[in-house]
Chain A
Amino acid sequence: MRKVILTPYLFLISFFCFIAISISAKEEPLKKATFIPQWAPQAQFIGYYVAYEKGIYKKHGVDLTIIPGGPEAPPSELLNSHQADFATLWLSSGIQMRDAGIGLVNIAQILQRSALMLVAKKTSGIETLQDINGRKVGLWGPIFQIQPKALFKKYDIHVKIISQSYSVNLFLRDGVDVASAMWYNEYHTILNAGINPEELTTFFFYEYGLNFPEDGIYTLQETYEKDPELCCAFAKASIEGWQYAFVHPEEALDVVMKYMEKAHIPANRIQQKWMLERMKDLILLEDTSIAMGRLLLDDYERVAQGLKENKLIDEIPDFKTFYKRCDNYAEE
Chain B
Amino acid sequence: MLRNKGIAFKLIFYILVSALIIFTLIFGYNYIVVRQVISRKIEENAKNLAQATTSRIDIVLRSVEKAPENLACFIENSSYSKEGLINSLCSVVENNPEIYGGTIAFEPYAFNSESLYFAPYFYKCNGEIKFTYLGSETYRYFYWDWYQIPKELERPMWSEPYYDVGGGNIIMATYSVPFYKTVDGERRLIGIVTADISLLWLQKMVSSIKISQTGYGFLISKNGTVVTHPTEKLIMNETIFSVAEARGDAKLREIGREMIKGMSGFVPFNSIVTGKKCWMVYGPVFSSGWSLGVLFPQDELLADITRLNRMVFSLVVAGILFLSFIIASIASNITKPLRTLAKKSEEIGSGNLDVEIPSVKSRDEVGQLTESFVYMKQSLKQYIKELTETTAAKERIESELKIAHDIQMSIVPKIFPPFPERSEFDIYATLEPAREVGGDFYDFFFIDDEHLCFVIGDVSGKGIPASLFMAVTKTLIKTIASKNMSPNEILKRANVELCHDNDSCMFVTIFLGILNTKTGEVLYTNGGHNPPLIVHKGKGGDFLEMEQGTAIGAFEDIIFKTERLVLQSGDYIFMYTDGVTEAVNKSEELFSEERLKKDVNVLLEKSVKELVLNIVEKIKDFSQGVPQADDITMMVIKYKKEI
Contacts and interface: CB of A to CB of B under 8 A. Distances in A.
Contacts of A267: 237
B643 interface: no
B152 A162 contact: yes
Interface stretch (B241-249, B302-310, B499-507, B510-518): B241-249
Interface string A292-320: 00000000000000000000000000000
Interface residues of B, number: 28
B145 A170 contact: yes
Given A192-B242, A194-B256, A194-B260, A268 B237 contact: yes
Interface in A235-277: 266-271
Interface in A191-231: 191-194, 196
Nearest to B256: A194
B224 A194 contact: yes
A270 B142 CA distance: 31
A165 B148 contact: yes
A193 B241 contact: yes
Contacts of B160: 167, 169
B471 interface: no
Contacts of A164: 143
B432 interface: no
A40 B296 CA distance: 40
A270 B223 CA distance: 16
Contacts of A83: none
B144 A165 contact: yes
B2 interface: no
Tell me the interface secondary structure of chain B in the complex: helix
Contacts of B447: none
A192 B241 contact: yes
Contact of A175 (B148, B159, B260): B148
B241 A175 contact: no
B257 interface: yes
A77 interface: no
Nearest to A271: B242
B241 A169 contact: no
Contact of A193 (B148, B157, B223): B223
Interface in A159-173: 162-165, 167, 169-170, 172-173
Nearest to B223: A193
Interface in B142-180: 142-145, 148-149, 151-153, 157, 159-160
B153 A175 contact: yes
A176 interface: yes
Contact of B224 (A165, A192, A196): A192
Nearest to B225: A193
Contact of B242 (A172, A176, A196, A268): A268
A172 B224 CA distance: 11
Contact residues on A (Cβ < 8 Å of other chain), bracket:
20 to 34
Contacts of A162: 148, 152
Contact of A170 (B148, B238, B246): B148
Contact of A173 (B142, B149, B224, B236): B149
Contacts of A173: 149, 152-153, 157, 222
Contacts of A176: 152
Given A163-B143, A165-B144, A193 B152 contact: no
Contacts of B142: 163
Nearest to B152: A175
Contact of B152 (A170, A268, A270): A170
A174 B245 CA distance: 24
A136 interface: yes
Interface in B106-165: 142-145, 148-149, 151-153, 157, 159-160
B152 A167 contact: no
Contacts of A172: 222-223
B264 interface: no
B219 to A, nearest CB: 15
A257 to B, nearest CB: 11
B239 interface: yes
Given A165-B144, A192-B224, A194-B260, A136 B242 contact: no
B287 to A, nearest CB: 15
Contacts of A174: 153
B237 A192 contact: no
B229 to A, nearest CB: 14
A175 B149 contact: yes
Contacts of B257: 194, 196
Contacts of B148: 162-163, 165, 170, 175
Interface in B213-236: 222-224, 236
B153 A192 contact: no
A270 B256 contact: no
A163 B143 CA distance: 6
B54 to A, nearest CB: 19
A163 B236 CA distance: 25
B107 to A, nearest CB: 13
Nearest to B150: A175
Contacts of B242: 192, 268, 270-271
A172 B241 CA distance: 15
Nearest to B144: A165
A165 B241 contact: no
A169 B223 CA distance: 8
Interface string A73-92: 00000000000000000000
A169 B157 CA distance: 12
Given A173-B152, A192-B245, A194-B223, 16 more contacts: A162-B148, A163-B142, A165-B143, A167-B145, A169-B145, A169-B160, A172-B222, A173-B149, A175-B149, A175-B151, A175-B153, A192-B239, A266-B236, A268-B237, A270-B246, A271-B242
Interface of B: 142-145, 148-149, 151-153, 157, 159-160, 222-224, 236-242, 245-246, 253, 256-257, 260
20 contacts: A165-B143, A165-B144, A165-B148, A169-B160, A169-B223, A170-B148, A170-B149, A174-B153, A175-B152, A191-B241, A192-B239, A192-B245, A193-B224, A193-B239, A194-B223, A194-B253, A194-B257, A196-B257, A268-B242, A271-B242
